Chains A and B, each alone.
Chain A
Amino acid sequence: MFQLSMNMLYTAFFFFLLATIFFAVSITGKKFKNRQGQEHNRSALIGYILAVGGLVFSLTYFITRWIAVGYAPVSNMFEYTTALGIALSLAFVIIYPIYKINFLGLFTMPVAMLIIAYASLFPTEKQALIAALQSQWLTIHVITTVIGQGILAIGFAAGLLYLVRVIDFTKASKKVKGVEFIMFSLIAVLAYVLVNIGFGLADYEAVFTYVDEQENVAEMTYHVPPLIGPHEGERISDQGMDPLISTPANIRSGGVNMVVWSVLTGLMAYWLLRLVLRKPLGAVLQPIVKNVNPQLVDEISYRAIAIGFPIFTLGGLIFAMIWAQIAWTRFWGWDPKEVWALITFLFYAAYLHLRLSRGWHGEKSAWLCVVGFALIMFNLVFVNLVISGLHSYA
């Protein structure tokens, strides 16, 4: 059952990949015309059907894993991040028929794939749930939150689409830099995934002993070459290289090493692309999306936020408070994760109020959608892995 569920997830990933390809074809491919002179390009429909197929398989993964592990599979980084990718594809499948914009598929499906691929790098085995997590509220609170965040992420995809469509890439500006930074970030995540998978296939392993914060000697295993090594690290495995730099004891060198790897490989990949294409990546994409109606995309991003916001609030704050009252004796305790959920809530609340004022539609609003998604990812990755708190579930 467990293996079956993982196979379902791989299948879903493959479907999302195909969906991306078909959406790309629907936009860039030749316009077939039938005898009546009507455009006759079925790729978008096929792309959508594939996206639905991917969603069905990923939900099958979710349900079979649920049965296999015995609790809602949203309890650790792998499970939650995967669920976020699934929620994004769910939101897309719901929103696409309303607006029928193929471009949205082109921008959403790759993001969903990237999230799922990133998730698969975390430990995927079955969790032994700690006492605090053994509650129906795990199911209710986390699933509601993830659906809300998935819908909010559509706002990001639409916002990015808007920016690529309207920004003038012909002359250098802060805006161009901004879009390029988003592109670079996506590429860096992809690089991170590929580096891990590559060294994983090669069975890379370097084991170190090091001295931790409490002055104890501990062991740590690197699965990618340690550019950044642990505090007073000594390599004890035959395989591997010695680190270039050592970190102080209170920093998790493994994490820092991974960040350095993904930034470096991301930068290399990004500049390689720039060299080959000879212009900003946004400028490469712009001609592809030239037929997008900016106003409609702006409205999609706004609606995605307006639909996602109440669901996120219900799951990430209200249900969260109910559970916190039951498990942690108080509904609110300023735990970092709680605070960042509040910050995300306040940010989108500010966004919704800004939509009332003139001059905040369109481009500014699109930037805000991007920042909102960055906050969601920050709260998922950084707060869980770097800031210690009650929510540190790795």
Chain B
Amino acid sequence: MEKVKCECGHVNPYGTYLCESCGKPLLEDTSKLANMRYEGVARRSQTYRKTMVDKIWNFFSSVKVGIWIIVVILLASSLGTIFPQEMYIPPGQNPTVYYEQEYGILGKLYYQLGFHNLYRSWWYILLIASLGISLVICSLDRVVPLYRALKTQRVTRHEGFLKRQRLFLEVNSISNISEELTKAEKILKDRRYKVRKENGNILAEKGRFSRWGPYVNHIGLIIFLVGGMLRFFPGMYLDEYIWVREGEEEVINGTDGEYFLRNNEFIIDLYDEEEEEHYAEAIERAGGTIVRNYQTNATLLKRTNEGTVGSETELEEVKEAEIRVNQPLTFDGFSLYQVDYKLNELSTFTFRLESETVDDDLSDMEFVVNLNDPQKVYEFDNGYRIEIREYFPNFTFNENREPTTINRIPDNPAIVFEVFTPDMDPEEETGELSLIGIQMNEHLNPDGDAHDHTIRFTNAEMVDVTGLTVRKDNTLPFIIVGGIIFMIGLVQGSYWFHRRIWLQERDGILLVAGHANKNWHGLKKDFHYLSEHTEIDMPLDQTEAMTSEPDSQKGGE
């Protein structure tokens, strides 16, 4: 791979199209205008095409391939919104049946193709990864040579270069060129151009740094994508959930038992049609209730290491917080978010033992069962004893028609009590058994056995339960830094423009040429201003001479 020496003396890498220094076309090109992309530099991908590495590099360094990757990701992403993703189907639904039930044959197909979890599928992640690779290689392939070319560009350019710029004019009507050039220099400096001179020729340049915008934003995107990848590493990302009942303390999942949360009070506040008439319509439209606010007044507790081994856990209060939507509680890298609640969960039942046949004094026979942590035995002063034989917090019958519980949440509690009168021996004898639950009070002893006592349900207490998400995301710094860099690069590349104006004298003729990487309109305005204040005429836009009238447009269908 020979280096190519230009007539101006500059040595260019093999494959250079426009000399990095003077712009002379070094490769055959019959088109009327110079292709100014990347200043006509030699790019690795355009030069080396032999080895496997070259081939992979060339594949990913193509903007065309990059665009295809973007388009395929775009199309794939849209597929995932046809039906809800698995994480958004109602909780407790089995996806195998849910999709078919809700959306028929299409839903079934959607599920079978794995589109219900599309964004976590191996092929989607592979697409994102190839976008990342494309970003890295595209940027590297271009930024290094582009940087070198813009650094080494000379003021005096080759005539062939100037003539093939989009904006070009030969002005031969100027009487005193050097005087006009001095005027032009001042005007351009006033318009914030950096003006360089060489042998009386002028190169005025403005906004070169905007050329780096794309590379800056690509770096930002790469950091962002790396941050997204880190989530799959253990310990980087925590997604846990806790339910805490009012008045109780719960260990915060994911904190290795170090932190606890006490729910002091749960508050919910609805919009009130009566008080706020202007909301009446909106409330009616929403079906009668709109929640204004719901919050947990909580205390964060931390385990202390002072307690001896095996002793009760010692907790110290760390801080008080009101946790609301949009106002999470943060501590030690963790965040607790208010996401859900459950109002009026049963917490205690109060029972009374009654009898119509027994003479014992049963007046003080009230007892309270804590449904979340029931006592096993209740002993009374009068010698009675009541035991809980079975407790089903969420009572149901299984397939074999046996009583069982769905879970530990007391939504439908049912209790089997055994009543021992003072003259019975709990160890030896069986007491009166009854199954008591909501709308349910049945004797369980074999028929014929005496059943003198009835346990009456007298009262229930309820609590509110708050549902909180526990989150720790160590990838956030990457996401934030990547996002900021991306945005800086985007602004840099979008709101500034790289413009150059060349003014060169050749044998009494002034060559005027201009190039902008975008916003030609702005460059033309500068030229226009120049033509108004000097004798240097507006250059012609050589593409406009080429654009034909609509009736002769050659657009392929």
Chain A residues in contact with chain B, CB under 8 A? 98-99, 123, 125-132, 134-135, 137, 165-168, 170, 173-175, 250, 293-296, 299, 302-303, 306-307, 309-310, 313-314, 318, 321, 325-327, 329-331, 333-336, 339-340, 342-343, 346-347, 349-350, 353-354, 356-357, 363, 383, 387-389
Contacting pair B81 A350 (CB below 8 A): no
Contacting pair A356 B557 (CB below 8 A): no
How far does the Cβ of B457 sit from chain A's closest Cβ, in whole Å? 32
Contact of B521 (CB < 8 Å), options: A166, A167, A299 = A299
Contacting pair B339 A329 (CB below 8 A): yes
Contacting pair B469 A130 (CB below 8 A): no
Query: Contacts A123-B285, A125-B282, A307-B495 hold; do A329 and B78 have CB atoms under 8 A apart?
Result: no
Contacting pair A350 B70 (CB below 8 A): yes
Contacting pair B294 A131 (CB below 8 A): yes
Contacting pair B291 A343 (CB below 8 A): no
User: Could you say which residues of chain A place their CB within 8 Å of the CB of B88?
Assistant: 335, 389
User: Could you say which residues of chain A place their CB within 8 Å of the CB of B491?
Assistant: 310
Q: Is B487 an interface residue (CB 8 A)?
A: yes
Please name the residue on chain B nearest to A334 by beta carbon. B119
What per-residue 1/0 map shows which CB atoms of B333-344 lie under 8 Å from chain A? 001010100000
Q: How far, in angstroms, from A211 to B557 measured CA to CA in the complex? A: 49
14 contacts across the A-B interface (CB closer than 8 A): A125-B281, A128-B276, A128-B286, A134-B293, A134-B326, A167-B553, A175-B557, A310-B491, A313-B487, A330-B239, A339-B78, A340-B81, A346-B73, A346-B74
The 9 A-B residue pairs whose C-beta atoms are closest, nearest first, are: A336-B81, A131-B325, A128-B271, A346-B74, A128-B279, A310-B490, A135-B326, A329-B337, A128-B290
Contacting pair B326 A131 (CB below 8 A): yes
Contact of A126 (CB < 8 Å), options: B64, B87, B282, B518 = B282
Query: Contacts A130-B291, A166-B550, A326-B328 hold; do A309 and B63 have CB atoms under 8 A apart?
Result: no
User: Could you say which residues of chain A place their CB within 8 Å of the CB of B294?
Assistant: 131
Q: How far, in angstroms, from A302 to B494 measured CA to CA in the complex? A: 11
Q: How far, in angstroms, from A306 to B281 measured CA to CA in the complex? A: 42
Contacting pair B282 A306 (CB below 8 A): no
Q: How far, in angstroms, from A326 to B282 measured CA to CA in the complex? A: 26
Contacting pair A306 B77 (CB below 8 A): no
Q: How far, in angstroms, from A299 to B544 measured CA to CA in the complex? A: 13
Q: Is B257 an interface residue (CB 8 A)?
A: no
User: Could you say which residues of chain B place their CB within 8 Å of the CB of A318?
Assistant: 483, 487
Q: How far, in angstroms, from A130 to B458 measured CA to CA in the complex? A: 38
Contacting pair B494 A309 (CB below 8 A): yes
Question: Is the interface on chain B under 10, 10 to 19, 20 to 34, or 35 or more residues?
Answer: 35 or more
Please name the residue on chain A nearest to B64 by beta carbon. A357
Q: Is B508 an interface residue (CB 8 A)?
A: no
Contacting pair B81 A387 (CB below 8 A): yes
Q: How far, in angstroms, from A55 to B78 measured CA to CA in the complex? A: 35
Q: How far, in angstroms, from A278 to B76 measured CA to CA in the complex? A: 42
Q: How far, in angstroms, from A350 to B278 measured CA to CA in the complex? A: 46
Contacting pair A98 B521 (CB below 8 A): yes
User: Could you say which residues of chain A place their CB within 8 Å of the CB of B285?
Assistant: 123
User: Could you say which residues of chain B place their CB within 8 Å of the CB of A303?
Assistant: 518-519, 521
Contacting pair B555 A363 (CB below 8 A): yes
Contacting pair A329 B335 (CB below 8 A): yes
How far does the Cβ of A387 sit from chain B's closest Cβ, in whole Å? 6
Q: How far, in angstroms, from A276 to B122 measured CA to CA in the complex? A: 56
User: Could you say which residues of chain B place their CB within 8 Å of the CB of A174?
Assistant: 557
Q: How far, in angstroms, from A127 to B290 measured CA to CA in the complex? A: 10
Please name the residue on chain B nearest to A300 by beta carbon. B521
Query: Contacts A126-B278, A314-B487, A329-B335 hold; do A295 and B544 have CB atoms under 8 A apart?
Result: yes
Contact of B85 (CB < 8 Å), options: A170, A327, A334, A383 = A334
Interface centre among B102, B326, B471 (most CB of A within 10 A): B326
Contacting pair A346 B70 (CB below 8 A): yes
Contacting pair B290 A350 (CB below 8 A): no
How far does the Cβ of B249 sit from chain A's closest Cβ, in whole Å? 22
Q: How far, in angstroms, from A294 to B326 measured CA to CA in the complex? A: 49
User: Could you say which residues of chain B place their CB within 8 Å of the CB of A130?
Assistant: 290-291
Contacting pair B518 A339 (CB below 8 A): no
User: Could you say which residues of chain A place their CB within 8 Å of the CB of B278?
Assistant: 125-126
Please name the residue on chain A nearest to B78 by beta carbon. A343
Please name the residue on chain A nearest to B543 by beta carbon. A295
Contact of A356 (CB < 8 Å), options: B63, B81, B520 = B63
Q: Is B198 an interface residue (CB 8 A)?
A: no
| 12 extra interface residue pairs, beta carbon distance < 8 Å, beyond A318-B487, A343-B74 | A132-B326, A167-B550, A168-B551, A175-B557, A306-B518, A325-B476, A330-B473, A346-B71, A346-B73, A349-B70, A356-B63, A389-B84
Q: Is B105 an interface residue (CB 8 A)?
A: no
User: Could you say which residues of chain B place their CB within 8 Å of the CB of A314?
Assistant: 487
Please name the residue on chain A nearest to B550 by beta carbon. A166
Contact of A132 (CB < 8 Å), options: B63, B77, B325, B479 = B325
Query: Contacts A306-B518, A326-B328 hold; do A343 and B77 have CB atoms under 8 A apart?
Result: yes
